[in-house]
Amino acid sequence: MAPKDEEKLYDETGVPAEGDFSLEEILAEYGGSLEQHMLRDVERELAEEAEPASQPESPAPEPQEKPAPPAEEPPDPALEAERLRQEARDKLLAQAVDLEKLEKELPRAPRPISLEEVVGSTVDAVMEEQEPLLRPRRSLFSRRKLEETEELFAAPAPEPEPEIEPIGPERDLRDAADDWRDAYRRQRGAVVPALLIALIPTVLLAAERYDVTVPYWSGEPGVQSIFLLACLAAVALLCRSVFAKAAAMVHRRRCTGELLAALSALAAAADCAARLLLEDRTPAEPYGAVACLALAAAQWGVSRESRGMYDMFRAAAMDDDPPYLVTDTEKGACKQRGAVPGFYTAAMGDDLSVPLQTALLPLVLVGSLVFAGLSSLGQGRGSDFLLNWSAILAAGANLSLPLCWSLPWSRLARHLQQTGCAVAGWSGAEKISRRRAMIVTDGDLFPPGTIQLNGVKVFGEELSRAVSYAATMARAAGCGLERLFDGLLRAELGRYETADEFSFYEEGGYSAAIHGESVLLGTAPFMRKMGVRLPGDINLKTGIFLAVDRQLTAVFAVKYQPSENVDFALRMMRRSHITPILASRDPNITPALLKRKFSKQGKVEFPDLTARVALSEAEHDRDLPRALLFREGLLPYAETVAGSRRLCKAVRRGTILSILGSMAGALLSFYLVFQGAYDLLSPLALEVFLLLWTLPVLLMADWTGRY
Residue pLDDT, tens place only, 25-34: 554 554 444 4
For the chain, how are helix, strand and coil distributed in percent, rounded to 5? 55, 10, 35
pLDDT digits (tens, 9 = 90+) for 104-155: 554 444 444 454 554 455 545 545 544 444 444 444 444 454 444 444 444 4
| Mean pLDDT of the 173-186 span | 94
pLDDT band at 287, cuts 50/70/90? very high
* Average pLDDT for the chain: 81
Highest mean pLDDT among 46-50, 83-87, 141-145, 543-547: 543-547
Residue of higher predicted confidence among 590 and 154: 590
81/460 Cα distance (integer angstroms): 111
| Mean pLDDT of the 660-668 span | 95
Look at residue 356 in the predicted model and tell me its pLDDT. 95
Residue of higher predicted confidence among 97 and 370: 370
pLDDT band at 506, cuts 50/70/90? confident
Look at residue 611 in the predicted model and tell me its pLDDT. 87
Q: Do 35 and 89 touch, CB atoms closer than 8 A? A: yes
Look at residue 74 in the predicted model and tell me its pLDDT. 53
pLDDT digits (tens, 9 = 90+) for 352-403: 999 999 999 999 999 999 999 999 999 888 899 999 999 999 999 999 999 9
Look at residue 165 in the predicted model and tell me its pLDDT. 61
| Mean pLDDT of the 180-189 span | 94
pLDDT band at 75, cuts 50/70/90? low
Look at residue 493 in the predicted model and tell me its pLDDT. 84
Percent of the chain with pLDDT over 90: 48
Indicate whether 340 pLDDT > 70: yes
| Mean pLDDT of the 602-622 span | 80
| Mean pLDDT of the 14-37 span | 49
Residue of higher predicted confidence among 12 and 550: 550
Residue of higher predicted confidence among 520 and 88: 520
| Mean pLDDT of the 233-243 span | 95
Indicate whether 696 pLDDT > 50: yes
Look at residue 234 in the predicted model and tell me its pLDDT. 96
| Mean pLDDT of the 179-202 span | 94
3-state secondary structure 243-274: HHHHHHHHHCCCCCHHHHHHHHHHHHHHHHHH
Q: Do 466 and 520 touch, CB atoms closer than 8 A? A: no
Residue of higher predicted confidence among 157 and 522: 522
Indicate whether 186 pLDDT > 80: yes
| Mean pLDDT of the 154-162 span | 49
pLDDT digits (tens, 9 = 90+) for 449-464: 899 988 899 988 888 9
Query: What's the CATH number for 451-560?
Result: 3.40.1110.10
541/251 Cα distance (integer angstroms): 66
Cα end-to-end distance, the chain, whole Å: 112
Look at residue 507 in the predicted model and tell me its pLDDT. 85
**CB burial class (10 A; 0-12, 13-18, 19+) of residue 141?**
exposed
Residue of higher predicted confidence among 490 and 146: 490
229-262 exposure pattern, b = at least 16 Cβ within 10 A, e = fewer: bebbebbbebbebbbebbeebeeeebbbbbbbbb
How many residues appear in the chain?
707
Indicate the range of 70-79, 420-429, 515-524 predicted with least confidence.
70-79
Look at residue 190 in the predicted model and tell me its pLDDT. 94
Domain ranges, ordered by start, for the chain = 173-320+351-430+645-704, 451-560
| Mean pLDDT of the 667-674 span | 95
Look at residue 121 in the predicted model and tell me its pLDDT. 56
Look at residue 18 in the predicted model and tell me its pLDDT. 45
pLDDT band at 601, cuts 50/70/90? low
Indicate whether 162 pLDDT > 70: no
Instruction: Count how many Cα atoms sit within 13 Å of the Cα of residue 379 in the half-sphere of its side chain.
Output: 15
472/512 Cα distance (integer angstroms): 10
